[in-house]
Structure 1
Amino acid sequence: MSTGPNVGHDRYRLLDELRGLAAVAVVVFHIATRGGGPAVMPNGFLAVDFFFMLSGFVIAEAYETRLVRGMGFAGFARRRLIRMAPAAMLGTLVGGAYLVARAFAAPARSDPLPEVLGANLLNLLILPKLWHARATGWELFPANGPLWSLFFEIAVNLAWAALLAGRSTRLLAALVAGSAAVLVLLGLRFGTLHLGWEVMSLAGGAARVGFGFGVGLLIHRSRGFLPRMGQGGGMVAVAALLYFLFLPLPALGWQLAVVLVCMPGVLLLAVASGNAAVVPAGAFLARLSYPLYATHLPLIALCAGALKFASLGGAGGHWASLLLVLPLIAAAWAALVWWDEPLRAWLTQHAAARRNAPPPPPRAQLLRN
């Protein structure tokens, strides 16, 4: 998902608000698929494709000029990892602890403990599990499912910075077209665009991030040609995004239309709307969007597992389960204030101190001392 700074000093405030709404959409989708709640947003997983598009625009806005003017690849990579790793690791610690507890409490429904520990270690490093396990199957990130998209986003961020920043728009368009073609072919093969979270559809995840991130880059290149639409355009963008995610049409054709056509249109509208504020509490949701995305699924699994262990059953599709969104938002706020922001500040200061430290004395001088 997009995890960049506020773009252009509030020049595109609506992008932040849409990121917050998309994060809540993913939470509602997972309450249904992992927590037994009602399927009110069957296409909520497509919000991840919108995250990729936002990421392409945001990263280009924040870093492309600096990279072209000489910002080092190592500096870019360090900034992105500091931004993304703390919240992702916190969610993985929670999810990994749940998987270990489940291995002891319900071994028949769990992976063997050594496999759980191995997968937890890989996931903590934002690396995928590539083997088939008894309970988690081919899932890449059993300790924290949404990490599959963060893994691909880190990969595409680094590939762009190393190879594509400042390259021609024609080349970017060709790569986007190629990713779209691969995505269509894989969608036809699997019957869905819900791809990338398991080993069998790794190529689908690469195609999703390649298309989405590339669309964001292209829209960033064209931002100067867009009309200024203000709050009216922003309201249309918000309504359109929610409509595309809520409409209960699980057919592949609809999913392809949303990803390939509709969501790029939403991003264009949002960019044209500039700093229009549309969503109530939009700034709050925007600030919480990344920790919410990075921590919500392990917490949902923890709640569902606790109910099963207590023999209370699951949510059973009951609408009251949607109230879980509120404590998940509260947990994301706690994660942001007490973990993510302090740890990022410390890592940033530590990295700056290392860069500014005087070089070590020559080896000969050390030997004399």
Structure 2
Amino acid sequence: MNASDRAAPPWQGRYVTLDGMRGIAALGVALFHYNISQAPHGYVAVDFFFALSGFVLCRTYLPRWRTGLTSVQFMKQRVVRLYPLFLAGIVITTLSAVSNRWTGRGDIFSYEKIASSLPFNALMLPSPFTHTLFPLNVPAWSLFFELVASLALVLVLFRLPRKGQVAVAAASACIFVPAVLANDGGNIGPLWSQLGISLVRTAMSFTAGVLLAQLPAKDIRHPGWLGVFCLFAIVTMLVANPQAIPKAWYDLACSLFVAPALVWLGSRGEPSRVLVPVAWFLGEVSYAVYAVHWGLMEPLRWFKDDLGWNPALMGALYLSACVGLGWLCVRYIDIPLRRRLNILLHARARHVPPRSVPN
């Protein structure tokens, strides 16, 4: 078989370093929720996610938007991309929450609370009847704001001049900084009482990513030290706990500077060829890991907290379980359901009657 006949690897043409960093960030959030001492600042990964999303969506869709992509078409694509795994996460975490009634571990939800919040949460909407936006899958708040940011991208940010986008990011940062200082940290987002700051946090990082996407960049990204450095740096950002720096100031440094810088650096170079398949795989399962990890948290905490198993061992087993379940969700839920949704949307588009043209 000639080299030209071989199928291209699935990571060809992708930002593999950014894929790997996204996967590491998802694992960092999961580990923070499972055992905060092992990833004490894992929640700043959310700011990285928003900056990365703004970067990738701007790079991907701004040229299409300029050539006629409508806001409705764009949002359909975003819903198709986000909803299948979001729904899988809600189902899995709901089943896990219900099981707490028999195990006695984790939050015990009344059936009334589950019944009142689930119809809204299943539609990717916050529950109006609880203090937490998504009580059955708490991290899902950022996925909801991801959808909000996507809508703002086509309705506002794409239409603003560069100075306007800078103004949005700067104004958001001016509100975000005192909120983090008052909260003594940047772990803000899942509660109704934090709704305004959650919007500001999203706008700040997402718009920063949009601005980065419009900077000049090379089309060729050679594998080398830069990609490896970025993968190492994001691990360090999430697990480090420098005692000499106040928690709030460390979080602000990560949110305002480190996370956007890592997005930019990660787009400039790729990891070594040995690490490329690993980085690509972590990126492939990253969204699924983020969507479902809350459902595995309490069942596997039992081994660590009640049986006294080694915390480091259980942290590794927990992350492995998250990756395994995430891969199953991608393989058997996300890919088939997205394919089906795309077929339905394209079929409906073909059957829309043409508009009448006046004489």
TM above 0.5: yes
Q: What letter matches 2:200 in structure 1?
A: A
**What is aligned with 1:57?**
55
**What is aligned with 1:365?**
none
Separation in structure 2 between the aligned mates of residue 359 and residue 117 of structure 1, nearest angstrom: 40
Aligned CA distance change for structure 1 residues 197 and 99 (closer, same or farther; 3 Å): same
Aligned CA distance change for structure 1 residues 21 and 169 (closer, same or farther; 3 Å): same
**What is aligned with 1:291?**
288
Contact preservation (8 Å) 2:138, 2:190: yes
Contact preservation (8 Å) 2:31, 2:319: yes
- Post-superposition CA distance 1:285-343 (Å, at most 9, x none): 11111111111111223444xx49xxx82667722211111122111111111111100
Contact preservation (8 Å) 1:7, 1:13: no
Aligned CA distance change for structure 1 residues 302 and 82 (closer, same or farther; 3 Å): farther
Contact preservation (8 Å) 1:57, 1:217: yes
Contact preservation (8 Å) 2:208, 2:260: yes
**What is aligned with 1:43?**
41
Q: What letter matches 2:26 in structure 1?
A: A
**What is aligned with 1:97?**
95
Identify unmatched segments of 5+ residues in structure 2: 1-8
Paired residue secondary structure (1:223)? coil
2:123 counterpart of 1:125 = yes
**Which shows bigger deviation, 290-299 or 73-82?**
290-299
- Post-superposition CA distance 1:113-154 (Å, at most 9, x none): 21221112211111112444xxxxx22111112210001110
**Which shows bigger deviation, 67-76 or 295-304?**
295-304
**What is aligned with 1:177?**
170
Contact preservation (8 Å) 1:83, 1:344: yes
Q: CA deviation at 1:279?
A: 5.5
Contact preservation (8 Å) 1:237, 1:269: yes
Contact preservation (8 Å) 2:39, 2:238: yes
Separation in structure 2 between the aligned mates of residue 239 and residue 9 of structure 1, nearest angstrom: 22
Q: What letter matches 2:322 in structure 1?
A: L
- Post-superposition CA distance 1:220-251 (Å, at most 9, x none): 11133899775222222222212211111461
**What is aligned with 2:233?**
240
Separation in structure 2 between the aligned mates of residue 8 and residue 324 of structure 1, nearest angstrom: 27
Q: CA deviation at 1:41?
A: 1.0
Choose the corresponding residue for 2:334, options 318, 331, 340: 340
2:204 counterpart of 1:201 = no
Q: CA deviation at 1:51?
A: 0.6
Aligned CA distance change for structure 1 residues 265 and 229 (closer, same or farther; 3 Å): farther
Q: Percent identity?
A: 28
Aligned CA distance change for structure 1 residues 315 and 287 (closer, same or farther; 3 Å): farther
Separation in structure 1 between the aligned mates of residue 119 and residue 282 of structure 2, nearest angstrom: 30
**What is aligned with 1:25?**
28
Aligned CA distance change for structure 1 residues 104 and 223 (closer, same or farther; 3 Å): same
Q: What letter matches 1:52 in structure 2?
A: F
Alignment length (residue pairs): 342
Q: CA deviation at 1:12?
A: 2.5
**What is aligned with 2:4?**
none
Paired residue secondary structure (2:23)? helix
TM-score, scaled relative to structure 2: 0.87
Root mean square deviation, CA, Å: 2.9
TM-score, scaled relative to structure 1: 0.84
Aligned CA distance change for structure 1 residues 7 and 70 (closer, same or farther; 3 Å): farther
Separation in structure 2 between the aligned mates of residue 151 and residue 27 of structure 1, nearest angstrom: 18
2:331 counterpart of 1:321 = no
Q: CA deviation at 1:91?
A: 0.9
Q: What letter matches 1:77 in structure 2?
A: M
**What is aligned with 2:5?**
none
Separation in structure 2 between the aligned mates of residue 56 and residue 198 of structure 1, nearest angstrom: 23
Q: What letter matches 2:282 in structure 1?
A: L
Q: How does 1:105-120 map to 2 (within 5 A)?
A: 110-120=108-118
Aligned CA distance change for structure 1 residues 201 and 315 (closer, same or farther; 3 Å): farther
Contact preservation (8 Å) 1:91, 1:295: yes
**Which shows bigger deviation, 201-210 or 176-185?**
201-210
Q: What letter matches 2:330 in structure 1?
A: L
Separation in structure 2 between the aligned mates of residue 331 and residue 18 of structure 1, nearest angstrom: 19
Paired residue secondary structure (1:126)? coil
**What is aligned with 2:184?**
191
**Which shows bigger deviation, 84-93 or 268-277?**
268-277
Aligned CA distance change for structure 1 residues 107 and 24 (closer, same or farther; 3 Å): closer
Separation in structure 1 between the aligned mates of residue 252 and residue 105 of structure 2, nearest angstrom: 40
Q: What letter matches 1:282 in structure 2?
A: A
Contact preservation (8 Å) 2:11, 2:277: no
Contact preservation (8 Å) 1:11, 1:275: no
**Which shows bigger deviation, 312-321 or 289-298?**
312-321
Q: What letter matches 2:286 in structure 1?
A: S
Q: CA deviation at 1:156?
A: 0.8
Contact preservation (8 Å) 2:16, 2:279: no
**What is aligned with 1:261?**
257
Q: CA deviation at 1:32?
A: 0.9
